[in-house]
Amino acid sequence: MEEQGRYRSEWLGYNEVGGKKDIQKYVLHVIPYKSCPVYVVGHSLGGWNGAHLTKIMSDWGYKIKMLVTLDPVGEGTLVWLGSDIYRATPEPVAEQWINVKATPSKPDQSDGVADFGEKWSIASGPAINAHMDVNHYNALSMFTQPIAGMKSASDMVYESIMKEFP
C-alpha cells in the first residue's frame, strides 16, 4: 500500500526473512534509511520469523516502529525440521507490539496445523495481547477485527503510519 509515495509496503514470505543473508537480500533494499520507521506484520511462521526480524534489524540500527504477530507459530521441534525458521524463541524489539492469538470456539484443520507447529505462548511483551474467536488460517480477520475498543491492529498500524508520514 502506498499513498503519494510517502511509504512503501512489501509482502515477504516467512522464509525470506529466515536469516541475515535473506534479510540483506529481501528486506534492506526497500528501507531507504535506518531511521525510517519499519512496520512488521507476520502470521503463523511469519509472526515467529517477523519477531526475530525486529531484533536483528534493531541490532543493526533500524527503527522498528511496530510489530504485529497474528497467531504466531514456531515453538515445536518438529516444525523446525520442516520449515526455514529460527530455532530460538524470539526476543522482539519494537516501539509497539500487538499480538493476536486465534482461540476458535470451533477449531478447523488450520488450527490442527498451528497446534502441530506449536503456537508461541507469549506471557509478556506485547502492549496488546488479544485473543480472538477465529481460526488460525484467518489472518485477515485477526488483522482487521477490533481488538482494542473499536480499533483493529490494521487501524493502529495505519494511524501510526499517518503520524509518521502526515
For residues 16 and 22, is the Cβ–Cβ distance under 8 A? yes
Angle at 82 between CA 117 and CA 94, to 5 degrees: 60
Q: Answer yes or no: is 34 within a domain.
A: yes
Strand spans (E) along 26-133: 37-43, 63-70, 96-102, 128-132
State the cell numbers at 139.
489472518
Predicted pLDDT at 123: 86
Q: Answer yes or no: is 2 within a domain.
A: no
Predicted pLDDT at 2: 46
Rounded Cα distance between 96 and 129, Å, is: 11
**Structural domain of residue 32, as residue ranges?**
14-164
Q: Answer yes or no: is 4 within a domain.
A: no
Predicted pLDDT at 125: 95
Rounded Cα distance between 85 and 49, Å, is: 6
Predicted pLDDT at 6: 66
CATH of the domain at 101: 3.40.50
Q: Answer yes or no: is 7 within a domain.
A: no
Q: Answer yes or no: is 97 within a domain.
A: yes
Mean pLDDT per 10-residue run, the chain (166 residues)?
A: 64 89 92 94 95 96 97 86 84 98 97 91 94 98 93 96 87
Number of domains in the chain: 1
Strand spans (E) along 22-82: 37-43, 63-70
Taking the CB of residue 19, how many other CB atoms lie within 10 A of it? 15
3-class secondary-structure state, position 25: helix
Q: Answer yes or no: is 105 within a domain.
A: yes
Predicted pLDDT at 1: 41
